Amino acid sequence: MAAKPNLSLLFLLALMPMVVVMAQQNRRQQNLTHIHFYVHDTLSGPNPTTVRVVEGPMKLLETNLNFGDIFVFDDPLTEGPNPTSKLLGRAYGSYIFASQSTTKPMLLLTVNIVLMDGQYDGSTFSIVASDASFVQVVEMPIVGGTGRFRMARGYAHSKTYWYNTTTYDGIYEVDAYLLHFVI
């Protein structure tokens, strides 16, 4: 008569490859990187970095901004607040006025930060966030990255350095904190 297989032993043997892979991943060193830069968002003038591509139907506040507006941007990232300071990279993305509130507009922001200088040249990280307009500091989640920031996660704080209420041009100071694998 043949012996019955030991199901517990078979189950443990099936789990071993997964345990080995998880142990190898946990041994990979992770870094915490802090990056500081300024974003120059320009909607006015002959060379805007941000353009409205869809105009929504409902006015927000006493402005020409509407619920449903979609803006696309290609903003420079610099080392300092002066637009002529050292270029560190670019922010590519979009924001949508996604709240119907006429007192506290809320933006849906999607942005890829592409760094073009120094040790992080060619590396990127991505942010997908709600951005409450008119708050002093906005906290945004970092949801991924490439290059030196492969599999990044973390957060970024953005605060307004300068803002023009007529043209909507702004300069935003950003501190990003990324946890990522060492490559």
pLDDT tens figures, 32-50? 999 999 999 999 999 999 9
- pLDDT tens per residue across span 158-183: 999 999 989 999 999 999 999 998 87
In eight-state DSSP terms, residue 109 is: E
The token duo for 19 is: 């345990």
- In Å, how far are 40, 119, 138 from 66, measured between CA atoms? 22, 41, 21
CA–CA distance, 29 with 107 (Å, rounded to integer): 35
- pLDDT tens per residue across span 74-108: 999 999 999 999 999 999 999 999 988 777 778 99
Per-residue model confidence (pLDDT) at position 94: 98
CA–CA distance, 19 with 27 (Å, rounded to integer): 13
What's the average model confidence in pLDDT over 138-151? 96
CA–CA distance, 79 with 88 (Å, rounded to integer): 6
Per-residue model confidence (pLDDT) at position 65: 84
Q: Which of 43, 34, 117 is nearest to 74 (CA)?
A: 43
Rg value, the chain, Cα: 23
Burial of 77 per CB tally in 10 Å (0-12, 13-18, 19+): buried
- In Å, how far are 20, 22, 122 from 13, measured between CA atoms? 11, 15, 42
- In Å, how far are 35, 53, 87, 112 from 95, measured between CA atoms? 22, 10, 23, 12
Please tell me the pTM assigned to this model. 0.83
Res. 20: pLDDT tops 80:
no
- Domain annotation for the chain: domains and CATH numbers: 30-181 (2.40.480.10)
